Chain A
C-alpha cells in the first residue's frame, strides 16, 4: 500500500463521526487550557487522559494530540489580549501582540496568529508524514545499544537545555528513572520495591503521578496568585487584517515554519526556544527593526507559526523512534502503551491506522482550530472572567475521577495528592517536573535495552561505543551545535529574552 493510500485510510479514521467528534473535543479543550493561564497543554492532556481509556487507540490519540496543538493556538489569545501567556510557548507573542492590541489592532494580531499557527501546524504535519516512515525503517535496523545511547542523549539534552539549575534537572531525571524501577522487573519478573503489595506490580500509577506532578501542583501554585484579569475585547468586524498586514506576515510565517520545524527536534523545550529564535530572526530580517516591541506584526506571525510548527516535529521521535522528546509526547506515549500500542518503528506496520489516523487528524484539527479560533475568540476571552476559585473544584473533580477510573483504586488518589504536594513544593524551589516525567516514561525501556544490549554483547560495555552508537552521538552533538550556533547568530538569549522579561 502506498503512502497516499495509507493517508487516505488515515482520513477515513479522522473523518469518521467519532474521529471528528473527538478531534473537535480535543481542539476545544486544548484551546480552553491554552487560554486559561496556568493550565498548559500538559495539564490539559493529563486531565483528559483517563477519558481516552474507553476509546479505541486511534481516537484516543487523536483527542490528546488535538489538546496539544489546540493549546498552542489558544495560548496566543491571552498573550495578545491580556499580556498573560496562556502557556510557555506564547511568552514572546506578548511583546508585540499586546502592543498591537493596545493600539486597537487586536483583531489583525489574532487573525495573523491563527493563520500562522494553521500554516505552521499543517506544514509540520507534512514533515511528520515524510520523515517518520524512513526514520522508523532505520530504527528497525539498529540494536538495543544504539537505542540506549539515543535515550541517554535525549535525557542529557533535556538536562543541558533546561532553563533552571542543571543540577536539579539532573536530580529530577535520575529520580524519574528510580521511580520507574518500582514494580516487576521486565526481564526476570522479580518484584522490586513493591513490599509484597500486588498493586505495585505494575509500578506507581503513571496517570496519578502525572496528574499530581503537573495538574495538581499547577493548581496549587495558581491558587497563590489569583488576580483579576482585564482583557481587551476585539470586535468581530475588526478581525480582518489589512493587505499590508498579510504582506508583512507572509515571509515571517514562512521563516517561522522552517524554524519551528527544525527546532522541534530538540528535546525538552523546543516549542519555547523556537519562538525566541523566530522572533530574533524576524527582528534581524525586518526593514524596521525599531518597530519590534511596539506592535510589529511580524513579531506575532513568526513566533506563533514557529510554536505550532514544532508540534508536528515533536511527534517524529515519538512515532518514529518510540522516544518522547517533550513531556506532551510522553503523555501520548503513555496513552499509546495503555492502549497496547507500541510507538516506534513497528507502529507503522502493526498499527498503521493509529499513525495515519493521527496524521490525517492533525490536518483536520488545524482546520477545526482555525474555524474555532477566529469567530469565537470573544467566547474564549470571556473564559478569563471566570474566577479561578470557581474553576478549581471542577478541575480537581475531573482529576480525581480520572485517576480513580484507571484502576478503580482509591490508593491512586492518594498517589495523586502526594505527588501534587511534592510537585508543588519542588516547583516552589525551582525544580522542573518535565524531566522527571520524561525519565519516568523512558526508564523502563532504558533499563530493558541496557541489559539486553549487555547480554547480547556478552557483558561488554564497548557495545555502547560501537560504530553505530558513535555515529548517533556525533549526529546529535553536531545537530545541537548547529542549532545553538544558529540561535546565537540571530541574537537569541540576549535581546529577545530581555524584551520578553520586560
Chain B
C-alpha cells in the first residue's frame, strides 16, 4: 500500500459549515480543494430540501395525530399535543423553505459526499445489518479493520492486528469487567450445523 493520500486542507476557520460563512476571497481555494473529495451542492437546494423534509415530517405527524383521541381544547387527549406541535413544525419548516428561496444565494455551495464520510456511513450500516446475524466480535473486528485501512490509511496487516487486539480489549472491558453480553450470532449455529453434517464423513 502506498503513502496515504492527502486530505483536503481544512477550512480557514476550522468549520465544516456552509462555505458562504467564510470570506469571499477564501471560498475559491477551499471549494477547489474540497471538490476533489465531495460533490458541491447548492446551499439553497440543500436548505429547501431540508425544509421540505421537515414539512413532510410535520404532515405525517399531524395526520397520525388526527387518528388518535383528540379530546377538547380545554381537556386535551393524546392526539392534541402532537397535532399542535406538528402544525408548529410545519409552519416553521415552510418559513425555512421561503427564507431559503428568497434570501439564500443560489451560488453558495456546501460539499457533500466526502470519501471517508461515505465509507464510515456504509461501514456503520453494515454493522447495524450484521450485528446479530454474524458474531458481534467478528463483525466489530472487521468493521475496525476496514476503517483502519480506509479511513486511517493503515497497512492491511497492521489493521487486522490492531482490530484483533482491539477486540480482545473490548471483550475484556465489556464482557468481563462490565458484564455486557454481545451476541454470538447465527453464524456459529450454521458452522456447527455444517460441522455435524460433515462429521460422519
Contact = CB atoms under 8 A, between A and B. Distances in A.
A175 B10 contact: no
B136 to A, nearest CB: 8
A461 B181 CA distance: 50
Max count, chain A CB within 10 A of own CB: residue among B47, B65, B93, B128: B128
Contacts of B11: 225
Contacts of B155: none
Interface string A391-424: 0111011001100110010100110110011001
A429 B121 CA distance: 18
Contacts of B85: 174, 177-178, 181
B120 A223 contact: yes
B75 A455 contact: yes
A393 B144 contact: yes
Max count, chain B CB within 10 A of own CB: residue among A425, A427, A458, A460: A425
A175 B57 contact: yes
Contact of B61 (A171, A193, A427): A193
A84 interface: yes
Contacts, number: 191
B148 A393 contact: yes
Given A224-B38, A225-B14, A387-B152, A174 B75 contact: no
A405 B68 contact: no
A174 B76 contact: no
A459 interface: yes
A408 B10 CA distance: 39
A118 to B, nearest CB: 28
A393 B58 CA distance: 35
B86 A223 contact: no
Interface in B43-95: 43, 46-47, 50, 54, 57-58, 61, 64-65, 68-69, 72-79, 81-82, 85-86, 88-89, 92-93, 95
B81 A428 contact: no
B151 A392 contact: yes
A224 B113 CA distance: 10
Interface string B117-133: 10011011101100110
Contact of B127 (A170, A221, A400, A430): A400
A216 interface: yes
B89 A178 contact: yes
B158 to A, nearest CB: 10
A38 to B, nearest CB: 10
A374 interface: no
Contact of A227 (B10, B131, B163): B10
Max count, chain B CB within 10 A of own CB: residue among A220, A431, A458: A220
B50 A223 contact: no
B173 to A, nearest CB: 9
Given A167-B99, A390-B154, A401-B182, A447 B121 contact: no
Contact of A425 (B18, B50, B182): B50
Interface of A: 51, 54, 84, 167-168, 170-171, 174-175, 177-178, 181, 185, 187-188, 190, 192-193, 216, 219-221, 223-227, 387, 389-390, 392-394, 396-397, 400-401, 404-405, 408, 410, 413-414, 416-417, 420-421, 424-431, 447, 450-451, 454-455, 458-461, 501
19 contacts: A54-B178, A84-B14, A190-B68, A190-B77, A190-B78, A224-B116, A224-B117, A225-B14, A227-B9, A387-B152, A393-B148, A393-B152, A393-B163, A394-B144, A400-B140, A401-B140, A414-B128, A428-B110, A461-B74
